[in-house]
C-alpha cells in the first residue's frame, strides 16, 4: 500500500507500509550449549507478525534461539533488507545481546525506528534508555498490539506518545510511559500466531512424550495470567503478564490446534503459566479436543494444587502425555518464604495422580532460597526422591527484575546485577540463603547425581528416549550428546554443574 505523498517524519519514510524486522535474541549467543535446552517458539511475536501483516506491513522474523542464525548472518540480513523498523526482543538474560544488536541496527540503519521489546524492556525500561542509546522506544507488558500500533504511528508520522503501552526516552535522561494499555480480556479476538514461521525441528521440548513418529512441536497459549504471588517469579520466568486470569474459548483453542495439525505438528506444548487453574474449563477443553477428533499429543505445566486424578485422566484421554510442576522445595518453611501457597502433600498427591493417570512427570526445584538452610535443601532432595520424576531441573533462587523479591527487597542492589550472569540454572548470582555458595553448587550436583543415577530413573529415562528414536534420530543424537556433556560436567567434582534438560 504505497502512498505518493507521505507525511514528513523524522525517519523520512516513503510509504505507509513498513518493512519490519522482528528479531528474538538468544540469551547466550555464541556460547556453546552445555546441556539440552528447550527452544520454544516466540508465539506472541508470531501474533505481532500476523497483526502487522494484516495491516499491510512486510515482516521478517528471525529467531536466534533456534541456533541457525549466526550474528554476521543477521547483520547481513539487516543490511540487505534495510527495514524501517527493527524490533529486538528478549528476556533479562539476553540484555547484553539486545543492547549490542540495538547498536548494530542503529549504526546500519540511522533512519530506522529501533524498538526494545520483551520481558526485560517491561521490567526495566531504564536499561534501554541512556546517553547515546540506540533505542527510540520500548514496548510494555503485552506487546502484540502496541507494536502494531507503534509501527502504524511511525509510518504515518504520528507522535509515538499517542500509542498506549510504550516507554519513551526523555531528552534529559530517563524515560516516560505512555498511558498503560489494559490487558486484553477477549483473547479469542487476537489472530493466531503465524505458526508457519515456527514449523522447524529446532523448536523442541525435551520432555518425554508418547510420540513414536516424527516430533514436530507446536506451541499454544490457551490462557494468560496467574493470580499467585510467588516470591521469585517474574515476567522473565512466566509466559504471560498480569494476575487476572483470561481464558480463550475451547472452540478458539481447538481451531488453533487444528491449524497446527494441518501444518504438520504432532505434539503441542501448552505454554500457559497454569494450564489447569480452572478445572471446569480444562475439562471442557479436553472434551472439545476429543469431540474435534484431534490426534495431537500435548504437554503442559501447572501447579500441584490445581490437579486431581479425574482431571488428569480426562487430560490423558484428550492427548496429554506430560505434565510439569514447579515443586520448588520440600521444606514447608521455605514454601512459606516463597509464598508458594502449596504444601508438600500437594506435590506428592499431584505426582501420584499424574503417574496413575498414565502421564509423564517433569518437576522443577529451587535451591538457595532466602534463609534456606542445608536441612531445608535435604528435605527438597528427599521430596524429589519420593516424587521420582521422569525429568527434573534444579535451579537457584535468582532475583529477576519484576519478581516480588526484586521489587520489594532488591531493587536498590539490583542496579548492580550483571544480566550476563543471571542464569538461575547454573550460577548463584547473589546468595540469600544460609548456605555458602560453594556448598549450594555442590548440593546441586549431588541432587542431580542421586536422582539421575538411580536405576529406576535411568531405566525410565532410556525407555522414554528410545520410544521415538528411529523417527527423530537427529534431535535425539543432539539430546544424547548434550546430555552426556551435562552429565560429565555435573558429576565431576569441582566442575560447574549445568541444568538438566527440561
Query: What are the residues binding ligand SF4 (CB under 6 A)?
Result: 226, 228, 230, 233, 238, 273-274, 303, 326
Give me the least distance between CB of 386 and ligand SF4, in Å please. 21
CB 78 within 8 A of CB 114: no
Give me the least distance between CB of 226 and ligand SF4, in Å please. 3
Give me the least distance between CB of 87 and ligand SF4, in Å please. 25
Nearer to ligand SF4 by C-beta: 102 or 326? 326
Give me the least distance between CB of 306 and ligand SF4, in Å please. 9
Select from 247, 146, 123, 267 the least CA-distant residue to 203: 267
3-class DSSP assignment, residue 348: helix
Nearer to ligand SF4 by C-beta: 228 or 432? 228
Select from 95, 104, 103 the least CA-distant residue to 75: 104
Mutual angle of helices 95-108 and 71-81, in 10-degree steps: 30
Nearer to ligand SF4 by C-beta: 18 or 233? 233
Nearer to ligand SF4 by C-beta: 277 or 315? 277
| Grid cell at residue 46 | 508470531
CA 105 to chain centre: 25
Nearer to ligand SF4 by C-beta: 197 or 274? 274
CB 422 within 8 A of CB 453: no
Nearer to ligand SF4 by C-beta: 196 or 336? 336
Give me the least distance between CB of 275 and ligand SF4, in Å please. 11
Nearer to ligand SF4 by C-beta: 228 or 259? 228
DSSP, residue by residue, 329-380: -S-HHHHHHTT----HHHHHHHHHHHHHTT-EEEEEEEES-TT--HHHHHHH
Give me the least distance between CB of 277 and ligand SF4, in Å please. 9
Strands (E), 265-390: 267-270, 297-302, 320-328, 360-367
Give me the least distance between CB of 364 and ligand SF4, in Å please. 9
In the numeric block, the cell 550476563 is attached to 420
The Cα angle at residue 198 between residues 197 and 203, in degrees rounded to 5: 155
Select from 163, 193, 185, 166 the least CA-distant residue to 63: 193
Nearer to ligand SF4 by C-beta: 269 or 303? 303
Pairwise CA distance, residues 459 & 209, whole Å: 16
CA 204 to chain centre: 13
Residue 299's φ and ψ, nearest 5 degrees, are -130, 160
Amino acid at each position: 500500500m504505497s502512498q505518493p505523498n507521505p507525511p514528513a517524519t523524522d525517519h523520512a519514510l516513503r510509504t505507509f507500509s513498513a518493512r519490519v524486522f522482528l528479531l528474538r535474541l538468544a540469551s547466550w549467543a555464541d556460547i556453546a550449549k552445555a546441556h539440552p535446552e528447550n527452544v520454544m517458539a516466540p508465539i506472541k511475536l508470531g501474533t505481532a507478525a500476523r497483526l502487522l501483516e494484516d495491516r499491510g506491513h512486510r515482516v521478517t522474523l528471525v529467531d536466534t534461539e533456534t541456533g541457525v542464525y549466526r550474528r554476521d548472518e543477521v547483520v547481513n540480513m539487516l543490511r540487505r533488507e534495510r527495514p524501517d523498523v527493527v524490533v529486538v526482543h528478549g528476556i533479562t538474560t539476553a540484555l547484553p545481546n539486545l543492547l549490542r544488536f540495538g547498536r548494530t541496527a542503529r549504526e546500519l540503519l540511522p533512519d530506522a525506528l529501533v524498538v526494545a521489546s520483551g520481558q526485560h524492556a517491561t521490567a526495566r525500561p531504564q536499561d534501554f534508555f541512556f546517553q547515546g542509546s540506540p533505542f527510540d522506544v520500548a514496548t510494555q507488558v503485552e506487546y502484540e498490539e502496541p507494536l502494531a500500533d507503534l509501527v502504524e504511528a511511525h509510518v504515518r508520522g504520528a507522535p509515538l506518545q499517542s500509542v498506549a503501552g510504550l516507554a519513551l526516552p526523555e531528552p534529559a535522561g530517563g524515560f516516560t510511559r505512555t498511558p498503560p494499555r489494559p490487558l486484553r480480556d477477549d483473547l479469542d479476538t487476537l489472530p493466531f500466531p503465524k505458526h508457519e514461521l515456527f514449523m522447524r525441528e529446532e523448536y523442541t521440548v525435551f520432555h518425554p512424550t508418547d510420540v513414536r513418529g516424527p516430533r514436530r512441536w507446536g506451541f499454544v497459549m490457551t490462557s494468560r495470567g496467574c493470580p499467585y504471588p510467588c516470591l521469585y517469579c517474574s515476567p522473565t520466568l512466566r509466559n504471560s503478564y498480569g494476575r487476572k486470569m483470561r481464558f480463550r474459548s475451547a472452540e478458539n483453542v481447538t481451531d488453533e490446534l487444528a491449524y497446527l495439525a494441518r501444518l504438520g505438528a504432532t505434539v503441542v506444548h501448552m505454554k500457559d503459566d497454569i494450564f489447569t487453574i480452572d478445572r471446569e474449563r480444562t475439562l471442557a477443553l479436553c472434551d472439545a479436543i476429543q469431540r474435534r477428533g484431534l490426534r495431537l499429543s500435548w504437554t503442559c505445566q501447572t501447579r500441584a494444587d490445581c490437579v486431581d486424578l479425574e482431571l488428569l485422566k480426562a487430560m490423558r484421554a484428550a492427548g496429554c502425555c506430560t505434565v510439569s510442576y514447579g515443586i520448588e522445595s520440600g521444606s514447608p518453611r521455605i514454601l512459606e518464604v516463597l509464598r508458594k501457597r502449596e504444601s508438600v502433600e500437594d506435590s506428592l498427591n499431584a505426582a501420584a495422580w499424574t503417574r496413575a493417570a498414565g502421564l509423564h512427570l517433569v518437576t522443577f526445584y529451587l535451591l538457595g532460597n532466602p534463609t534456606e538452610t542445608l536441612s531445608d535443601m535435604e528435605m527438597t532432595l528427599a521430596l524429589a526422591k519420593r516424587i521420582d520424576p521422569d525429568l527434573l531441573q534444579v535451579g537457584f533462587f535468582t532475583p529477576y527484575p519484576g519478581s516480588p523479591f526484586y521489587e520489594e527487597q532488591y531493587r536498590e542492589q539490583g542496579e548492580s546485577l550483571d544480566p550476563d550472569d543471571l542464569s538461575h540454572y547454573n550460577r548463584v548470582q547473589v546468595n540469600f540463603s544460609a548456605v555458602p555458595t560453594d556448598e549450594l553448587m555442590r548440593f546441586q550436583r549431588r541432587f542431580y547425581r542421586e536422582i539421575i543415577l538411580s536405576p529406576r530413573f535411568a531405566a525410565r529415562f532410556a525407555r522414554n528416549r528410545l520410544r521415538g528414536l528411529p523417527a527423530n534420530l537427529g534431535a535425539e543424537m543432539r539430546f544424547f550428546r548434550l546430555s552426556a556433556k551435562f552429565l560429565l560436567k555435573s558429576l565431576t567434582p569441582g566442575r560447574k554443574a549445568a541444568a538438566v534438560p527440561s
